[in-house]
Chains A and B, each alone.
Chain A
Amino acid sequence: MKREAVQGWMLVLPAVVLLAAFTHWPTLQTIWASLQTTAVPGHPSRFAPGQNMQNLWADPVFWQALRNNLVYAGCIIPVTLGLSLSMALVVDRRFPGRGLLRLAYFTPTILPMIAVANIWLYFFTPGYGLIDEVLAPFGLGEWNWFGSTSTALPAIIVIAIWKEAGFYMIFYLAALQTMPPDLREAAALEGASRWTYFRRVVWPLLMPTTLFVCINVAIDAFRLVDQIVVITKGGPDNATTILLYYIYEVGFQYWDTNYAALLTITLLALLGAVAALQFGLLARRVHYR
């Protein structure tokens, strides 16, 4: 037994040490840093847990970033889930051109966001951008999508969903294709409609995948800032600033590293809460086989 214990620890140590060094240790460092103020001329850095918290509470950009992030996540998670599931259901059946469609759905995943952000910038360009061109015959042709505070965030969300849905389609597809075919036969024999079959059989069996997809999309919804960095830089007027982007701005442009640390802690706490919520809601319904 003892030998096994030693072996066990030795096998896990390399990976765990690296992991801890770049995840757990920095988290502790961040917590410590968040309790200190950043040095300004005349005021060296000092331990002041209340000060940073006060600044946070009073910071309108933080609250906006928080709101934006919740909207961002709140839209991305359900829509991506729904789309990726629908795509998987469509591509699951045999029909001519299935491979092509699957390829079309999956392509956004392999294109780096940085690369496609500019393409989307073009699509949303007022007037001659593709979207406005399409809307023009309906008399709606002159939207400044990225230039107005009400449409910038939705446009950014559209890009994020486009990027993510195809990737999670693969997970659903894999799950669907390993479902035993006799289930469908049985349902057919009982005269169940496709909708009933889906609702009563497929959906519950997909629960593990749904949970997995849900949590990963949620995490992505807090991590995906590339298109913001390239297209809007958080604007106009912080309409597209989400927490991670604000952290980048505060940490690497304002050099207020301790405040950035506090923002990071907030982000981690939020992420944890979202994950816990999803786990709580969905884990109960998961059937493992």
Chain B
Amino acid sequence: MIGRRRLLAASASFVTGALAAPAIVRAEPLEIQFLFPIAASGPITKIIDGYAHDFEAQHPDISIKPVYAGNYDDTIAKAITAFKGGHAPPLAMLGAIQVYSLIDLEAIVPFDELATSAEDKAWMNGFFPAFLANGNVLGHTWSIPFQRSTPVLYWNKDAFKAAGLDPEKPPETWAEQTAMGKKLVKRSGSATSQWGVQIPATGGTYWLYQALAMEAGQELMSRDGTKAFFNAPGSVEALEYWVALGKEGVQPPGVVDWGATPTDFCAGRVAMMWTTTGNLTFVAQNAKFPFGVAMLPKDKQRGAPTGGGNFHIFKTATQAEREASLAFVKWVTAPERAAQWSIDTGYVATRPDAWETALMKQRVTELPQSAVARDQLKYAVPELSTHQNQQVTLPLNSAVQAALAGSKTPKVALDEAQANANRVLAPYQKT
């Protein structure tokens, strides 16, 4: 009687509530915090914010919160600190080389566990193998490439002509590079107004060193991240070549600054430089002379490391957060967007199908130099990455710098770096 009315009322409100519940729940979009570094010039924060906004328009139930975290070092520091504190973001763009540290901390979820449909698998395997290499370790795909680069050789065509060299033929081998470099050096008294080549060694010192070692036929680490080969004959030969460039007056003495090198090149203070393909836009805008971009010269073979950042999904994310993050990653790496990102920032478009888009094709027509990095990818190797990555690479950086600065011979410096690497990696070597 009274009870029945109450029961009806209660059921009615329950049913309404149940019907309304999904609507209420869905009214709150799932927030995905996304940590990212900035390592390129240009209005990156605006571009990333734009992506978040556009993605949210197509996916109203997900809200992307991009958090700019500094450079790669800062970003991995923040990500790991947050993870250790129990409040890691679901998604982060981290240096591809950090994969072993993240695996050791059991911090990340491999993408192959999330991207299970056939369509997803096709997407995952649609990236250039060279860019997937850093993340495809220990049988899983731990990360997805986003902002990737590779070093290339830039050369000043006017300077070549003035030195009596063919402006359309860059050096193909180390020997040619040294010989051409010597011809390009312009000196008056003790001051040099133009150097032959600059291979900078600040910033990520090991990056260009890895290129040299690869060209000498030596990979610097084992593909499972447990061994380093810093003092193998090829590695030593590579460093000796680099040091010789300075000693023979082809390159400025000491440790050449990474940041100043593109400016030096555009100002005509050096005729050739090794730097990331990401600097192409800067050079195109600021060089007042025709310039060319070529693959790095070979010794025994061509070789170049890749570089840059990949997407990683953290284990602390809930299933819903993981799926939302995957959706965003798939969306932002779509061919058109990958092409646009590459054009806006100078990074290499990460998928072959991005290079096939009309946008990219037009870019290559306007600036043919931008295709060189892509062509070099077939000689590219994963960037130096091991367990306890920083503890292994920072002393390597010091060793290379010591040799270039002349305070140690290459062999001695690399022996020390190797000894350090052996000590740090010992717990990981099963044998």
Query: Is the Cβ of A144 less than 8 Å from the Cβ of B401?
Result: no
Question: Nearest B residue to A239 by beta-carbon distance?
Answer: B405
Query: Is the Cβ of A253 less than 8 Å from the Cβ of B394?
Result: yes
Complex CA distance for A144 and B73, rounded to whole angstroms: 26
Query: Is the Cβ of A41 less than 8 Å from the Cβ of B398?
Result: no
- Binary flags per residue of A114-147, CB closer than 8 Å to B gives 1, else 0: 0000000100011110000000100111101011
Q: Which residues of B contact A239 (CB under 8 A)?
A: 405
Q: Is B283 at the interface (CB under 8 A from chain A)?
A: no
Query: Is the Cβ of A128 less than 8 Å from the Cβ of B269?
Result: yes
Question: Nearest A residue to B195 by beta-carbon distance?
Answer: A127
Query: Is the Cβ of A149 less than 8 Å from the Cβ of B407?
Result: yes
Q: Which of A215-249 contact B (CB under 8 A)?
A: 232-233, 235-239, 249
Contact of B257 among A40, A125, A140, A254 (CB under 8 A): A125
Query: Is the Cβ of B77 less than 8 Å from the Cβ of A144?
Result: no
Question: Nearest B residue to A129 by beta-carbon distance?
Answer: B260
Query: Is the Cβ of B253 less than 8 Å from the Cβ of A148?
Result: yes
Complex CA distance for A237 and B201, rounded to whole angstroms: 11
Q: Which of B175-193 contact A (CB under 8 A)?
A: 189-192
Q: Is B397 at the interface (CB under 8 A from chain A)?
A: yes
Q: Which residues of A contact B81 (CB under 8 A)?
A: 252
On whether A236 and B405 interact (CB within 8 A), knowing A126-B252, A142-B190, A144-B255, the answer reads yes
Query: Is the Cβ of A147 less than 8 Å from the Cβ of B256?
Result: yes
**Tally of contact residues, A, Cβ under 8 A:** 33
Complex CA distance for A279 and B257, rounded to whole angstroms: 42
Q: Is A280 at the interface (CB under 8 A from chain B)?
A: no
Q: Is A42 at the interface (CB under 8 A from chain B)?
A: yes
Q: Classify the interface of chain A: helix, strand, loop or mixed.
A: loop
A42, A144, A236 pick with most chain B CB within 10 angstroms: A236
Question: Nearest A residue to B402 by beta-carbon distance?
Answer: A237
Q: Is B391 at the interface (CB under 8 A from chain A)?
A: yes
Contact of A236 among B77, B202, B267, B390 (CB under 8 A): B202
Distance of A151 from chain B, by nearest CB (Å): 9
- Binary flags per residue of B219-232, CB closer than 8 Å to A gives 1, else 0: 00000000000000
Contact of A148 among B104, B254, B391, B428 (CB under 8 A): B254
Complex CA distance for A128 and B259, rounded to whole angstroms: 14
Complex CA distance for A128 and B254, rounded to whole angstroms: 16
Complex CA distance for A121 and B267, rounded to whole angstroms: 17
Contact of A254 among B391, B398, B404 (CB under 8 A): B391
Complex CA distance for A264 and B380, rounded to whole angstroms: 42
- Binary flags per residue of B149-192, CB closer than 8 Å to A gives 1, else 0: 00000000000000000000000000000000000000001111
Query: Is the Cβ of B257 less than 8 Å from the Cβ of A147?
Result: yes
Question: Nearest B residue to A126 by beta-carbon distance?
Answer: B252
Query: Is the Cβ of B267 less than 8 Å from the Cβ of A136?
Result: no
On whether A237 and B253 interact (CB within 8 A), knowing A41-B428, A253-B77, the answer reads no
Q: Is B137 at the interface (CB under 8 A from chain A)?
A: no
Q: Is B80 at the interface (CB under 8 A from chain A)?
A: yes
Complex CA distance for A237 and B401, rounded to whole angstroms: 5
Q: Which residues of B contact A233 (CB under 8 A)?
A: 202
Complex CA distance for A42 and B394, rounded to whole angstroms: 23
Q: Is A255 at the interface (CB under 8 A from chain B)?
A: yes
Q: Which of A35-76 contact B (CB under 8 A)?
A: 40-43, 61
Contact of A142 among B191, B260, B267 (CB under 8 A): B191
Contact of A141 among B191, B269, B399, B428 (CB under 8 A): B191
Complex CA distance for A136 and B192, rounded to whole angstroms: 10
On whether A144 and B189 interact (CB within 8 A), knowing A40-B427, A236-B405, A237-B401, the answer reads no
Distance of A5 from chain B, by nearest CB (Å): 41
Query: Is the Cβ of A42 less than 8 Å from the Cβ of B427?
Result: yes
Q: Which residues of A contact B264 (CB under 8 A)?
A: 127
Q: Which residues of B contact A126 (CB under 8 A)?
A: 252
Complex CA distance for A40 and B192, rounded to whole angstroms: 50
Complex CA distance for A43 and B81, rounded to whole angstroms: 20
Query: Is the Cβ of B407 less than 8 Å from the Cβ of A142?
Result: no
Question: Nearest A residue to B407 by beta-carbon distance?
Answer: A149
Distance of A213 from chain B, by nearest CB (Å): 34
Complex CA distance for A232 and B202, rounded to whole angstroms: 8
Complex CA distance for A44 and B407, rounded to whole angstroms: 38
Contact of A235 among B189, B256, B401, B428 (CB under 8 A): B401
Complex CA distance for A236 and B401, rounded to whole angstroms: 6
Distance of A112 from chain B, by nearest CB (Å): 16
Q: Which residues of A contact B104 (CB under 8 A)?
A: 41
Q: Which residues of B contact A232 (CB under 8 A)?
A: 202
Query: Is the Cβ of A43 less than 8 Å from the Cβ of B191?
Result: no
> What are some 16 contacts across the A-B interface (CB < 8 A)?
A125-B260, A139-B189, A142-B192, A142-B252, A144-B252, A147-B252, A147-B255, A147-B257, A148-B405, A149-B407, A232-B202, A236-B202, A236-B402, A236-B405, A237-B398, A254-B394
B positions within 8 Å CB-CB of A: 73, 77, 80-81, 104, 189-192, 201-202, 205, 252-257, 259-260, 264, 267, 269, 387-388, 390-391, 394-395, 397-399, 401-402, 404-408, 427-428
- 9 nearest A-B residue pairs (beta carbon): A147-B254, A147-B255, A144-B254, A236-B401, A237-B402, A148-B254, A236-B255, A237-B401, A237-B398
Q: Beyond the given A43-B427, A140-B190, please list 4 additional residue pairs across the A-B interface where CB-CB is below 8 A.
A: A147-B201, A147-B253, A147-B254, A236-B405
